[in-house]
Amino acid sequence: MDAYERITRNAAEVVTEEEIEALADDPDGKRAYVGYEPSGVLHIGHMLTANKLIDLQEAGFEVTVLLADVHAYLNDKGSFEEIRHTAERMRDQFIAYGLDESSTQFVLGSDFQLDDDYTLDLHSLELETTLARAERAMAEITSSDSVKVSQAVYPLMQALDIPYLGVDLAVGGMEQRKVHMLARDVLPSIDREPPTSLHTPLIADLSTGHGKMSSSTGVTISMEDSREDIESKVNKAYCPPTADPEPTDDGAERENPVLQVFEYHVFPRFETVVVERPEEYGGDLEYDAYDDLEADLESGELHPADAKGALAEYLDRLIAPGREQLAE
């Protein structure tokens, strides 16, 4: 797998293709970043973008993880003391999950977001940005009809973080796309380059296959989960024998979240996936590529229950080091 393939595999979108190709031509020493609010224990959403950071490290990139304590404070996630304690715990969990500590820099937002230059640049962006434009990037921040001023400033800070961190590539889930497009719109107004960005897919709701998996609503998987918790959640997951399920009764699109987790979490981290089955049911199945597992589920060779059993096993292997770190 060449650098371009490793950088872009399992990406839902890159902006722009030409900019990514230029980075892939000479990735050594380039820097990518993801920002996370220190709001709790790592869950499957954090792990998806962390998988992409691991890909980028293997391609030659250095990685910055922004533990955005100021953003979390603006989003009413607690006091600075509480948020910074959570940030320290999350740092250790990312290392336990597999980020290369020697090529990963962890940065608190308060390390630079409270400086005079940053504040003045932020005010310059506020002068250049209409409230309507900022609101279009706020969908993932506010969950109520009552929008606070801090939530309007939040996406402008996310945009400004990119040049202040000195990164070549901004990484995030598809929910971050609007923020990155805002950054491309507004940063040139303060003589900053528009950022290159890469967006990872969203995993569907584990129980229904409709909407997105969320740590605040529905069922999610996190580093706090025991082996038994993981098995229980996966066994209850929506998993029809197809990668293209029928829509809901209301006509809403559905995904197969079990297959999505295999594709975006398991296969990027394991060269071979073994589905254990009794000999009376055909014996073990071994897969070197996700597409083969999907094809066997479609054909009926792989039963959804066996797929779930394997998924729980491999998720537990990924989560166990972080779970042990939390226990310490």
Q: Which residues are annotated as a binding site?
A: 33, 154, 158, 161, 176, 215
Distance (Å, whole) CA 155 – CA 149:
11
Nearest to 266 by CA among 295, 308, 298: 308
Please enumerate in sequence order all residues whose Cβ is within 8 A of that of 33, keeping only pairs 6 or more positions apart, or say none.
63, 64, 65, 66, 161, 162, 165, 167, 169, 170, 171
Q: Which is it for the CA torsion 289, 290, 296, 301, positive or negative?
A: positive
Distance (Å, whole) CA 310 – CA 168:
37
Distance (Å, whole) CA 32 – CA 170:
6
Question: 239: which 2 tokens?
Answer: 């998993």
DSSP H or E run through 149: helix 149-165
**Alpha-carbon 303 to chain mean position:** 28
Binding residues for L-tyrosine: 33, 154, 158, 161, 176
Binding residues for ATP: 215
Distance (Å, whole) CA 65 – CA 319:
19
Phi, psi (deg, nearest 5) at residue 60: 115, -5
Which residues in the chain belong to E strands, given as ranges?
13-15, 31-36, 62-67, 104-108, 169-173, 197-200, 273-275, 285-287
Question: 134: which 2 tokens?
Answer: 């900022």
Q: Contact, 96 vs 321, CB < 8 A?
A: yes
